[in-house]
Amino acid sequence: MPTIKPILSSLLAISLLSSAIAISSPNLLPGTAHAASANNTVTSISKDLLLPLKWQVATNGMGMYDSIPPIMNGILYFSESITLYAKNIATGKTLWSYKQGAHPQIVTNNSVFFIDNKEQLVKVSAATGKLIWKVKVSERPIEIGAQARLINGKVYFANEYGVVAAYSPVTGKKLWENKDIPMYAGTIYGEYSGVFVVSSTVDNIRTQFYGLDPATGKRLWRIEGLYNYVTSQNGQLLLREQAKAAAGNTAKAVPGYQLTLVQLNPATGKVSGRENYNPLDDISRLGSYATSIQNSYVYTVDGNLDQDEYILTRFTRGTYAVTAPASYASFGNWLAGPSGGMAFFQHETQISGINLANDSVVPFDQPADKVEHLQRVGKAVFAIYKNGYISINHSDTGALLGMINSGAKSPYFGNITIDHGTALIPTEHNILAVALPQEYQ
């Protein structure tokens, strides 16, 4: 599921936020956000600052927000015009192509799995692109939303109209199928305590989680609520229970908590614990963007549904009754993090990296402009502007390595990856490859 540009307004926002936190929470770690974008230009860029592209390739944009990039052994797998390609990242050379291919769902040392436009799950050789097997996985046309994951020796498949199935990755044989699990805007999580867990949206606001028997696909339990997956910890699934926003504008205050964590026992599907942090007099317009648990802390990014702002707050786990939260609002609008012990903010047009251990500030050299999207990978911090320009700074020093003119007409970029010194930057229509110095990797 892709990273979503949040629109913190009205009920559309709360439906997006409620259904998308499952992917927003993991994305809090590498860092990704969108900021206000009034009159972004980045107009005067010196040619001396522009970095050359190592290579670039057109893509159909599918999978640009993958949390796990389709990369293995220095090879990038991607799709364009219903053809699957394998490209050597170091040289940019295309190694093979497979017609009637699609975006890779699973990449291993030896194989690539994808779902083609004939409703087939297909396995090809990662080295040669030769067909190994293919199997029909849907009786109806798949428009969008089908997904496959390799978990504990099984390929799990889910389709949005209501099918979850398991296949042998070796032979393609169907192991089981359950046609009664709705998967609209759904997510495959994995196996926990011997139970296979998936989720989907009920009404674009509420989320339903299912526990299935991984051996038979039989439904074991279901739970529904304003829940968003955060992580698994100590044998429990940790979910964030979202504040229920008041419909429309209201002058009546709605008391509640800034953060509520729910512990779900995956073996039974029962709530085994609840943690309420920071009581507030009014949560009627509270919008929650992302949640991350790191060691003994919980980091949340929240905002007002009527304002374009994102505030990072830190809570100490297990001390919700006695310890006040730490707010990072004074550093500016949140952009990304925590990632590698840092979070990133912008005050007016100045980007800063904050070391969370001691709150020391690293100011970044960059164009005096608003940032649309920011991501840290290794020591490289990529800031993207409305007109498609990208700046690359060192996370520890703030030094500007240079700028990239992506040529993109919109600031929508996917998750950036660095592989053996090459940064791969996905846009809606291309993947850009840029060589990085060792100290940025």
Full set of structural domains in the chain with CATH: 10-440 (2.130.10)
Whether 336 and 374 have beta carbons less than 8 Å apart is answered as yes
Which string of b and e fits 48-70 if b means at least 16 CB within 10 Å? eeebebbbbbebbbbbbbbeebb
**Nearest Cα to 115, choosing from 94, 139, 135?**
135
* Confidence at 139, pLDDT banded by 50, 70, 90: confident
In this predicted structure, the answer to whether residue 318 has a pLDDT above a threshold of 60 is yes
Residues contacting residue 375 through CB under 8 Å, at least 6 positions apart: 30, 31, 32, 336, 381, 382, 415, 416
Q: Which residue has the higher pLDDT, 332 or 247?
A: 332
Which string of b and e fits 16-38 if b means at least 16 CB within 10 Å? bbbbbbbbbbbbbbbbbbbbebe
In this predicted structure, the answer to whether residue 40 has a pLDDT above a threshold of 60 is no
* Confidence at 43, pLDDT banded by 50, 70, 90: low
CA distances from 15 to 65, 205, 386 (A): 20, 4, 25
What are the tokens at 133? 């097997």
Which one-letter DSSP state was computed for residue 245? P
Could you give the CA distance from residue 176 to residue 154 in angstroms, rounded to a whole number? 11
**Nearest Cα to 382, choosing from 363, 401, 368, 369?**
401
Q: Counting beta carbons within 10 angstroms of the beta carbon of residue 271, is it exposed (0 to 12), middle (13 to 18) or buried (19 or more)? A: middle
Could you give the CA distance from residue 323 to residue 34 in angstroms, rounded to a whole number? 30
DSSP calls for 290-307: EEEEETTEEEEEEEETTS
What are the tokens at 323? 């310890």
Q: What pLDDT, in 10s, does the model give residues 210-236?
A: 999 999 999 999 999 999 999 999 999
* Confidence at 321, pLDDT banded by 50, 70, 90: low
Whether 434 and 401 have beta carbons less than 8 Å apart is answered as no
Mean predicted lDDT score pLDDT of the chain: 87
Residue showing tokens 């926003």: 245
Query: What average pLDDT does the segment 143-147 reach?
Result: 82
Q: Which residue has the higher pLDDT, 141 or 206?
A: 206
Could you give the CA distance from residue 428 to residue 244 in angstroms, rounded to a whole number? 33
In this predicted structure, what is the pLDDT of residue 18? 31
CA distances from 65 to 258, 299, 342, 425 (A): 28, 22, 22, 11
Query: What average pLDDT does the segment 74-83 reach?
Result: 96
